[in-house]
């Protein structure tokens, strides 16, 4: 298969070296801008914010700081920090509050249905001007792409279930669920499992012997009660009551934890990232005609001539290469419709799932032909990098991460509202 993004990276490198002047480490954009909308970076599953991980950036990792790099080059950029293990609904509600300001409202109907608190943390707002008609670009990695899609859908269409519940129970309604908001100009997804990832099936298999989800959630509960832990890694699961209350005894706290509905809930990232969970999301989260959608796929495997399975390439992240990629590259499931097309992967997500939603979706996916189109998925090609290399968490000398994101920022700035 032709790896279109390899060509793109070479061209970007030439453009970066010869086409621009770089005084003081800054790079001037080559194309005129059609919009000045800021960029927002939205992380994926298990991601973290800029103030966590002792300063090690999710967006840039060992390769630098993508937010700072884009800001230094004239593209106003911010980073969101939503629940790393939370469902896309909860993450979208958190993203909304972080963008415009206010207290996170997960929705009265949603909270009652899933058994968690309705309200979360309060934020000052990164871009309060969005309430007054501003626009924004969202660049999302992995699960962040699902979250961004859901945010756009809720902003534009609201939630009929929340509107009816608020009216029937005479409770307030978040503006997010009213609909009629059109402030997302573009959504760019990078290595997003739009149709889910079969890695969840590996976790399900593991759970027969060791309940991984419960272990992770219990770790989150314990970490939430250790002073200063959130400064290193914040699980942001407040809505589930995983934090011990002032004056609450340990016995009462752990009994309350055992009764929490989170252990069996579908309102989690794990369900949303599964094949059935992603398909359910695709059935109602549809592309907006007012938004540009760009999808970048990633892969770091090769096909074995004898088995037909896909194996990790040399240089893939070690954990992914040993634990995850071999499963993804050989897992087939006739009942789920998982065939040979699903074997190519980037160590975490099946490449076939990345170019846009297909299972249960009516969205159109079109190859990028030099002109970005609204309301459809512009398939930008496949990059030969693994799931972590594409955000710089793992180094890949052959992938110029700065040129990649700078060129993307220039493309987004050229879009006409």
CB 225 within 8 A of CB 243: yes
389 known ligand binder? yes
Residue 288's pLDDT is 98
**Cα(138)–Cα(186) distance, integer angstroms:** 6
User: How far are the Cα atoms of 104, 127, 178, 348 from residue 100, in angstroms, in the given order?
Assistant: 11, 5, 15, 32
304 known ligand binder? no
276 known ligand binder? no
Residue 106, C-beta contacts closer than 8 angstroms, at least 6 positions apart: 89, 90, 93, 116, 117, 118, 119, 120, 239
User: How far are the Cα atoms of 16, 142, 301, 355 from residue 399, in angstroms, in the given order?
Assistant: 13, 18, 16, 20
Select which of 43, 141, 181, 387 is catalytic. Answer: 387
Residue 72 is a catalytic residue: no
Residue 67, C-beta contacts closer than 8 angstroms, at least 6 positions apart: 41, 50, 57, 59, 60, 77, 78, 79
Strands 292-298, 377-383: parallel, antiparallel or unpaired by DSSP? parallel
Strands 119-123, 310-312: parallel, antiparallel or unpaired by DSSP? unpaired
Find tokens 């695709």 and name the residue: 282
How far from the centroid of its chain's Cα atoms is residue 245's Cα? 31
Q: What is the DSSP letter of 313?
A: P
**Cα(329)–Cα(324) distance, integer angstroms:** 9
Residue 346 is a catalytic residue: yes
Query: What DSSP line would sit under 22-49, residue for residue?
Result: -GGG----SS--S----EEEE--TT---
CB 137 within 8 A of CB 37: yes
110 known ligand binder? yes
Residue 142 is a catalytic residue: yes
36 known ligand binder? no
194 known ligand binder? no
Please, what are the domains in the chain? 39-414 (3.40.50.1820)
Q: What is the mean pLDDT of each run of 10 residues along the chain (417 residues)?
A: 42 32 36 92 97 94 92 98 97 98 98 97 97 96 98 98 98 97 98 97 62 58 64 89 79 77 91 97 98 98 97 96 97 96 98 98 98 98 98 92 97 97
195 known ligand binder? no
Residue 209's pLDDT is 41
**Cα(215)–Cα(116) distance, integer angstroms:** 20
- Token digits for 314? 């040399």
394 known ligand binder? yes
What is the sign of the dihedral through the CA atoms of 114, 119, 121 and 125?
A: positive
Which pTM was predicted?
Answer: 0.89
Select which of 346, 379, 386, 400 is catalytic. Answer: 346
What is the sign of the dihedral through the CA atoms of 402, 408, 411 and 413?
A: negative
Select which of 86, 142, 186, 361 is catalytic. Answer: 142
Residue 20's pLDDT is 31
């Amino acid at each position: 298969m032709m790896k279109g993004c390899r060509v793109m990276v070479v061209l970007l490198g030439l453009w970066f070296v010869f086409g621009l002047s770089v005084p003081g480490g800054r790079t001037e954009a080559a194309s005129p801008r059609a919009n000045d909308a800021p960029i927002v970076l939205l992380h994926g599953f298990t991601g973290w914010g800029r103030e966590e991980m002792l300063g090690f950036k999710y967006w840039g990792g060992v390769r630098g700081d993508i937010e700072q790099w884009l800001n230094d080059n004239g593209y106003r950029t911010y980073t969101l920090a939503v629940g790393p293990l939370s469902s896309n609904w909860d993450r979208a509600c958190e993203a909304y509050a972080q963008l415009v300001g206010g207290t996170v409202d997960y929705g009265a109907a949603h909270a009652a249905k899933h058994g968690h608190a309705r309200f979360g943390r309060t934020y000052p707002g990164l871009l309060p001007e969005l309430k007054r008609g501003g626009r924004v670009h969202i660049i999302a990695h992995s699960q962040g792409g699902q979250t961004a899609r859901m945010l756009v859908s809720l902003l534009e269409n609201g939630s009929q279930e929340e509107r009816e519940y608020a009216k029937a129970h005479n409770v307030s309604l978040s503006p997010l669920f009213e609909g009629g908001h059109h402030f997302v100009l573009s959504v760019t997804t990078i290595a997003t499992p739009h149709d889910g990832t079969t890695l969840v099936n590996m976790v399900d298999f593991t759970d027969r012997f060791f309940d991984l989800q419960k272990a992770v959630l219990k770790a989150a509960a314990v970490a939430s009660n250790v002073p200063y832990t959130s400064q290193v890694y914040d699980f942001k699961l407040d809505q589930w009551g995983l934090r011990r209350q002032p004056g609450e005894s340990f016995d009462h706290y752990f009994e309350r934890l055992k009764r929490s509905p989170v252990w069996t809930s579908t309102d989690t990232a794990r369900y949303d990232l599964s094949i059935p969970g992603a398909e359910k999301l695709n059935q109602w989260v549809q592309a907006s005609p007012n938004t540009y959608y760009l999808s970048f796929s990633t892969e770091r495997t090769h096909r074995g001539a004898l088995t037909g399975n896909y194996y990790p390439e040399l240089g893939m992240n070690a954990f992914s290469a040993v634990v995850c990629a071999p499963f993804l590259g050989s897992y087939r499931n006739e009942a789920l419709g998982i065939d040979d097309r699903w074997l190519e992967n980037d160590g975490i997500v099946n490449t076939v799932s990345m170019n846009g939603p297909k299972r249960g979706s009516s969205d159109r996916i079109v190859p990028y032909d030099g002109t970005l189109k609204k309301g459809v998925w512009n398939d930008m090609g496949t990059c030969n990098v693994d799931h972590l290399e594409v955000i710089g968490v793992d180094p890949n000398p052959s992938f110029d991460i700065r040129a990649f994101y700078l060129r993307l920022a220039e493309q987004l700035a050229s879009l006409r509202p």
